[in-house]
Amino acid sequence: MTDRLLVVENLRTTFRTVSGVIPAVGGVSFDLGANETLGIVGESGSGKTVLARTIMGLQPRTNIEVSGSVLLNGQQVVGASERVMREMWATQVAMVFQDPMTSLNPVMRIGRQIDETLRVRLGMDRRAARARAIELLNMVGIPSAEARYRAFPTELSGGMRQRVVIATALACSPKLLIADEPTTGLDVTIQSQILNLLDSLKQQLDMSVILITHDLGVVATRTSRIIVMYAGQIVEMGATRDIFHHHRMRYTRALLDSSPKVANPSHTRLAVIPGRPPNLSTLPPGCHFAPRCAFATEQCHRERPTLQAADSPGHVFACWNPLAASTNEGDSTR
Amino acid sequence: MSDHRTPLLKVRDLTVTFGKGTRSVSAVAGVSFDVYEGETLGLVGESGCGKSTTGKALMKIVAPTSGSIELNGVDITHQRGRALRHARTHMQMIFQDPISSLNPRRRVRSIVAEPLDAWKTASGAERDRIVNDLLNKVGIDPEVYGNRYARQFSGGQCQRISIARSLAMRPQMLICDEVVSALDVSVQAQILNLLEDLKAEYGLTLLFIAHDLAVVKNISDRVAVMYLGKICEIGPSDTLYETPGHPYTQFLLGAALEADPDSVDAGTVLEGEPPSPHDPPSGCRFRTRCPFATERCAAEEPQLREVAVGHQVACHYPFAAA
């Protein structure tokens, strides 16, 4: 994996608002190989969606400052004009958003919405576009695609709408698909269907996927690497197995411990992270997680930790008082 | 095990039908269950299965079409007016969206005191004492936050305030409708633990409605699984999760995503989507998606039958308990 599809370096997205400057993404660096699935997890407000939108070049241009570098297939996204981005959207990178209903135009037949990209981007004529759209609808598993081509979004269920959104995103065979909470709000059985679909499409079309979610269950079996974000920064990054079984950062551990598990007997007491994620406009000087961390030392409150390497290659974490290297899921220092 | 206890809430053949004639939808199509004093009954199912409508019908927020609801041995199905309002002091409901559950322009103290004011149960210093006590119990400092407006709080804090308000009349029972699904995992854990603590302290009985299987298992003593307006399985939570008897329960559990990279995908993804409740399938409602369905499933509707103590399954061919 020498050729990196996406290289993000020291990316910062800062909002200027009436209530102060908000560093929504505060210096994030990572890369992504071809045909790789990367998971980004974090709670609301951790900056994962802003990060995705910045990589897409979708941020508004006023009251916002983006610095750093996003190289997508060798092309710089930061500072690119909308005209340049339009060339890249759909053909290089596409995004699937959380709410399929707001991603689709409610008064436009779904076939037309898929056609649009094909005709504008690839210059297909109406007939070719229609044929390709039906092919895409078949590919994402929509039954009787020919008939559904003329359906309106309101005539479809939530799961079917998300399939249409995926078909639209894939219309011009992007190299990178960013899926932002693609299954939040869908039922568990539909959620598995959509995640399995994304997985098989990734293989079939040889693309890379960034899967953004707050749900650790979504990324556990479907990613090769995971980024854990907190307060706009990467606090831990590594191979999926390392993140789940050999995590070093205290926040990663707390996040894993606080989610209820089907395997545990009922009434298992949940480990709670006290407090709430910090206000980004008034971040503490030290580690952002320190005020909520049971293991914070004086240094944690004073000095911000930087990412340091763990034992396995590619595994990094930012913590002054990390968990022991051999820490496994069962054992705990609590 | 639970048979010796007295049911606090007794629901029999509850149906809720919206609309009339050919356009009618049976959101709840004959549901019976008991909730025993001091227990937590979880109610799970996919969207559209009728679990929220069941909760609302119990509170009489939507009118039950037929069937009966007994609270404390009193039939409240046809109660109206003051009698109904009085019954509701014993049974309170907390909703999914904590922010829209509270009036953004009112102060926390007055929101929590509203039930006391409405029933004139306490006033003056006594009222303040009760409100302070409730806010302290849910982890909101009344000195600091009591006079703030509801709009100044986050989702997790609003849910705490909703819980404090629901406890003001010292109800026996709380109906929690997806109370943690809008919250972040760290806040979700806080609220789940809070509910467990309050349940122990106030001796509450909970009906916990949610779609998240892990959350439901964590908080419930018993769990009922709903599909298309009917209960297809009900039993003690540990037993039901370990040895599900109904194929639907098994698919649902198979689809639940475990936060473990080594968890093997069972490979049993349920195909398709639930059929429309406008026109439910004949016989067993799950048969159109069930790989084990036979002719009998189409012809004859399976009734809930006991497969183990306290564990009932509505299936002609339930999985044998391991």
Q: Measured between alpha carbons, how far is residue A317 from residues A231, A284, A311 in Å? A: 15, 19, 11
State how far the alpha carbon of A40 is from the alpha carbons of A165, A181, A193, B217, in Å: 20, 10, 20, 27
Structure confidence at residue A334 (pLDDT): 34
Do the chains contact at B241 and A191, CB–CB below 8 Å? no
- Other Cβ atoms closer than 10 A to A265: 12
Phi, psi of A87 (to 5 degrees): -65, -35
Q: Are A70 and A11 in contact (CB under 8 A)?
A: yes
Q: Does A189 contact B187 at a Cβ distance shorter than 8 Å?
A: no
Angle between helices B155-167 and B124-137 (to 10 degrees): 130
Taking all residues of chain B, what is their mean pLDDT, rounded to a whole number?
91
| A258 to B241: CB separation less than 8 angstroms, yes or no | no
Over range A262-291, report the average pLDDT. 89
The mean pLDDT value for A228-236 works out to 96
pLDDT at residue A303 tops 80: yes
Convert the pLDDT of each residue in B185-209 to its tens digit: 888 999 999 999 999 999 999 999 9
Facing residue for A217 by CB, picked from B184, B219, B258: B258
User: Options 3.50.50.60, 3.40.50.300, 3.30.565.10, 2.40.40.20; which CATH number does B7-313 get?
Assistant: 3.40.50.300
Domain boundary among A189, A223, A257: A223
Residues A208 and A262 in one domain: no
Taking 90 as the threshold, does the pLDDT of residue B4 lie above it? no
A161 domain-assigned: yes
Most confident of A156-160, A214-218, B202-206, B273-277: B202-206
The tokens describing A303, both together, are: 């000095």
| CATH number assigned to the domain comprising residue A101 | 3.40.50.300
Contact A219, A303 (CB under 8 A): no
Chain A contact present for B86, CB below 8 A: no
**Residue A250, SS3 per DSSP:** helix
Shared domain for A236 and A197, answered yes or no, is no
Instruction: Output the pLDDT for position B277.
Output: 82
Site of tokens 């959620």? A191
Q: What is the pLDDT of residue B3?
A: 52
Domain span at A183: 4-223
pLDDT tens readout for residues B126-178: 999 999 999 999 999 999 899 999 998 888 999 999 999 999 999 999 999 99
Do A95 and A162 lie in one domain? The reply is: yes
How far does B129 lie from chain A, in Å, by closest CA?
25
Nearest to B15 by CA among B230, B209, B166, B236: B230
Nearest in space to B130 (alpha carbons), one of B116, B118, B144, B149: B116
Q: Is the pTM of this model over 0.80?
A: yes
Chain mean position to CA A324: 28
Between CA B96 and CA B5 the distance in angstroms is 30
Interchain CB contact of B215 with A (< 8 Å):
yes
Contacts A245 to B, Cβ<8 Å: 261
Residue A2 has pLDDT above 60, yes or no: no
Domain presence at residue A331: no
Residue A330 lies in a domain: no
Q: How far apart are CA B304 and CA B316, in angstroms?
A: 10
Task: Determine contact, residues B257/A189, Cβ cutoff 8 Å.
Answer: no
CA distances from B294 to B271, B272, B288, B300, B317 (A): 17, 18, 10, 10, 10
pLDDT number for residue B169: 92
- Say if strands B222-227 and B40-44 run parallel, antiparallel, or are unpaired: parallel
Taking only the tens place, the pLDDT of each residue in B225-249 is 999 999 999 999 999 999 999 999 9
A287 with A211, same domain? no
Q: How confident is the model at residue B267 (pLDDT cuts 50, 70, 90)?
A: low
Q: Is the Cβ pair A189, B46 closer than 8 Å?
A: yes
Chain A contact for B214 (CB, 8 A cutoff):
yes
Q: pLDDT confidence of B181, banded at 50, 70, 90?
A: confident
pLDDT bracket for residue A328 (50, 70, 90):
low
pLDDT beyond 50 at A315: yes
Q: Based on the fold, state whether residues A17 and A143 are members of the same structural domain.
A: yes
ipTM of the complex: 0.81
- pLDDT tens digits, one per residue of A122-166: 899 999 999 999 999 999 989 889 999 999 999 888 889 999 999
Same structural domain for residues A213 and A252? no
Rounded to 10 deg, the angle between the A110-122 and A126-139 helix axes is: 120
Structural contact between residues B229 and B27, judged by C-beta atoms closer than 8 angstroms? yes
Residue A56 lies inside a defined structural domain of this protein? yes
**A185-206: string of b/e by CB count within 10 Å (b at 16+)?**
bbbbbbbbbbbebbbebbeeee
Q: How many percent of chain A have pLDDT more than 90?
A: 67
* Both tokens assigned to A65: 């400052």
CB within 8 Å: A43 and B256: no
Domain assignment present for residue A157? The answer is yes
* Domain edges within chain B: 7-313
SS3 track for chain B: CCCCCCEEEEEEEEEEEECCHHHCEEEEEEEEEEEECCCEEEEECCCCCCHHHHHHHHCCCCCCCEEEEEECCEECCCCCHHHHHHHHHHEEEECCCCCCCCCCCCEHHHHHHHHHHHHCCCCHHHHHHHHHHHHHHCCCCHHHHCCCEHHHCCHHHHHHHHHHHHHCCCCCEEEEECCCCCCCHHHHHHHHHHHHHHHHHHCCEEEEEECCHHHHHHHCCEEEEEECCEEEEEEEHHHHHHCCCCHHHHHHHHHCCCCCCCCCCCCCCCCCCCCCCCCCCCCCCCCCCCCCCCHHHHHCCCCCEEEECCEEECCCCCCCCC
B21 within 8 A of B186, measured Cβ to Cβ: no
Q: How far is A106 from chain B (nearest CA, A)?
A: 21
Q: Residue A58: which pLDDT band, with cuts at 50, 70 and 90?
A: confident
Q: Summarize pLDDT for A178-213 with one digit per residue, the tens.
A: 999 998 878 888 888 899 999 999 999 999 999 999
Inter-chain touch B186–A272, beta carbons under 8 Å = yes
Q: Is residue B271 very low, low, confident or very high in pLDDT (cuts 50, 70, 90)? A: confident
- A interface mutation test: which of B46, B152, B185 has the most A CBs within 10 A? B185
CB contact under 8 A, A269 and B193: yes
How confident is the model over A73-132, as pLDDT tens digits?
999 999 999 889 988 988 899 999 888 888 899 999 999 999 988 998 889 999 999 999
Counting the structural domains of chain A, the total is 2
Is a pLDDT exceeding 60 seen at residue A330? no
Question: Is the pLDDT score of B2 beyond 70?
Answer: no
Q: pLDDT confidence of B321, banded at 50, 70, 90? A: low
Specify whether A189 is located in the same domain as A94. Answer: yes
Residue type, B146: G
Nearest partner of A276 among A91, A7, A85, A46, judged by Cα? A46
Residues A27 and A51 in one domain: yes
Query: Is there a single domain that holds both residue A245 and residue A140?
Result: no
pLDDT at residue number A228: 97
Residue A326 falls inside a structural domain = no
Residue B47 has what pLDDT?
A: 85
Nearest-Cα distance to chain B for A185, in Å, is: 9
Residue A333 lies in a domain: no
- Answer yes or no: is pLDDT of A291 > 60: yes
